[in-house]
Structure 1
């Protein structure tokens, strides 16, 4: 492994660790000497990486530190561009705009050769299907972030209408539908709703639901017997 690649890998290890990690642990993972780790950390700190800690105690990336985009590999950039292009095509206007701004920030900081690769990236996203009303999606994302109850009318696949009060937990973006995962007070269980079948949606501004969204999601994963996604 070249030193430049080792430095990038070292940054990733520090960024991913939630607790201080010792130089010996880092050396074992990178298959180098502890002395090499000390030199690498000093080099990264000189280049502006906000690494906290000291020898014998452990090292940790400072909270809020963002890796410069120039540290991305070509394949990582391809994945990032493809993901951002998908969001700009499939998400509501507010989230699509944020994705475009994010991609612009990455592009502005890249060296010329990598910027050219991003500009002429060959991975494209097809035309977007109309998954749901944009206003409803924006309201749902706001309710999710604030952990607020929502109320709406729902029409199922058979055309039956019902009024629901639910605790929103997640939005699932599928190719032909946008699904809301929620705890339903009416059914006293987890339910999945197609967002394009919601209408008269109201966010209850003063009604936080009593169970934390993360707890509800863990319970939902257990009930569905599916593994949790990777933490990113």
Structure 2
């Protein structure tokens, strides 16, 4: 991790905590030495970050730093918390951690009484089935962002296996399945693949597909107006 990225991560950790965090705890989360944390805190303070605390006591971000006041209605906050809780339970670890970070940033800017009410609201996310191997999901998200082709072995619902090279377009989070929407080179058409049926997935990082992903998505949307619903 570069130092600039580490400084941003350190700010996020401080922003998410409503209590002072020790240098040793921060060092453990960022996988660096305590001495590095001391230096990073000093650098952030010199750059204007409103961080209170000292070595041996702990550090805490002053409320309001970097984020403008957030004016949400109670129902908007309930929707936000419910959505973030769903992501932390349903998505791969990297995306789940991002959801926790996002929610922490919002809660840190709310008045204490409202933050407490939101944190202890009555809308919960129940247990969910695994939608796919976390490593495969993370790889697919990376391929989507970079517009790289991916190759994998696929087992359909009746157990037939095939080798596919596809152009990833989107991931659809259904209640019981995570679905990859892609252009399939074998079928020369749009296809939908359950991620939990993918095996030996490889990102072909030397091969960007020729048609922009947004163009493909527009074509897919047009096709869905006249085609059957997704088969899941």
TM-score tier, shorter chain, comes to 0.5 to 0.7
Count residues in correspondence.
161
Three-state SS of the structure 1 residue aligned to 2:80 is helix
Specify whether residues 133 and 70 from structure 1 end up closer, same or farther in structure 2 by C-alpha distance, changes over 3 A only: same
Q: CA deviation at 1:67?
A: 7.4
The corresponding residue for 1:215 is 215
Residues in 1 aligned to 2:210 and 2:225: alpha-carbon distance in whole angstroms: 24
Gaps of 5+ in 1: 1-65, 227-232
Describe how 1:50-199 pairs up with structure 2 within 5 A: 68=68, 70-199=70-199
Gaps of 5+ in 2: 1-65, 227-232
TM-score by length of 1: 0.67
Q: CA deviation at 1:109?
A: 0.8
Q: CA deviation at 1:166?
A: 0.2
Asked which structure has the greater RCO (Cα within 8 Å, sep 6+), the reply is 2
Residues in 2 aligned to 1:137 and 1:217: alpha-carbon distance in whole angstroms: 19
Describe how 1:7-86 pairs up with structure 2 within 5 A: 68=68, 70-86=70-86
Contact map agreement 1:70 1:111 (CA 8 A) in 2: no
Three-state SS of the structure 2 residue aligned to 1:107 is helix
The CA RMSD over aligned residues, in Å, is 1.4
Residues in 2 aligned to 1:113 and 1:162: alpha-carbon distance in whole angstroms: 56
TM-score by length of 2: 0.67
Residues in 1 aligned to 2:98 and 2:177: alpha-carbon distance in whole angstroms: 21
Residues in 1 aligned to 2:69 and 2:82: alpha-carbon distance in whole angstroms: 15
Q: CA deviation at 1:68?
A: 3.7
Residues in 2 aligned to 1:69 and 1:209: alpha-carbon distance in whole angstroms: 42
